[in-house]
């Protein structure tokens, strides 16, 4: 049986850190990053293998994990693709000072073509 899982390496700046919660008896946190290079948003799913790792908005993180994507619809009705990664290796480099341009109408990354490799 072929392994259909897709694994990616990622590097990005943390834009959101969710509060830890319990899922199926394991501690779980969501961390959203803006990927370096593409600018795409990627949700990192962190399970209890990183309980003491401090992660904060503005930090540069890198790692590897199992990639998944799901088609959906934004609040304004546009078709979007949600990207997530079940992380199994993660490192934190430090803080990256920058101005948040999204509130000022910053550029939105172009969507990936259907069937193309993960955009990270």
Chain segment 64-120, per-residue pLDDT in tens: 999 999 999 989 999 999 999 999 999 998 887 666 555 554 455 555 555 666 666
31 lies in a domain? yes
Phi, psi of 104 (to 5 degrees): -105, 15
- 2-61: pLDDT as tens digits: 578 999 999 999 999 998 888 888 888 999 999 998 889 999 999 877 767 889 999 999
> What confidence score (pLDDT) does residue 19 get?
87
103 domain-assigned = no
Tokens representing residue 92 in the block: 């934190």
Q: What pLDDT, on the 0 to 100 scale, is given for residue 1? A: 47
**What is the reported pLDDT for 26?**
86
Based on the structure, what is the number of domains in the chain? 1
Q: Is residue 47 part of a domain?
A: yes
- Pairwise CA distance, residues 115 & 120, whole Å: 14
Confidence band for 62, pLDDT divided at 50, 70 and 90:
very high
pLDDT of res. 79: 93
The confidence score (pLDDT) of residue 10 equals: 96
| Domain coverage including residue 60 | 6-94
CATH code (residue 10): 2.40.50.140
In a domain, 110, yes or no: no
């Amino acid at each position: 049986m072929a392994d259909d899982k897709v694994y990616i390496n990622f590097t990005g700046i943390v834009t959101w850190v969710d509060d830890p919660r319990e899922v199926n008896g394991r501690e779980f946190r969501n961390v959203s990053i803006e990927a370096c290079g593409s600018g795409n948003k990627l949700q990192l799913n962190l399970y209890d293998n990183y309980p003491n790792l401090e992660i904060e908005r503005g930090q540069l993180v890198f790692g590897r994990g199992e990639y998944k994507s799901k088609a959906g619809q934004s609040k304004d009705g546009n078709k979007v693709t949600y990207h997530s990664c079940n992380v199994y290796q993660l490192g934190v480099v430090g803080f990256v000072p920058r101005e948040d341009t999204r509130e000022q109408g910053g550029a939105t990354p172009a969507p990936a073509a259907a069937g193309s490799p993960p955009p990270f």
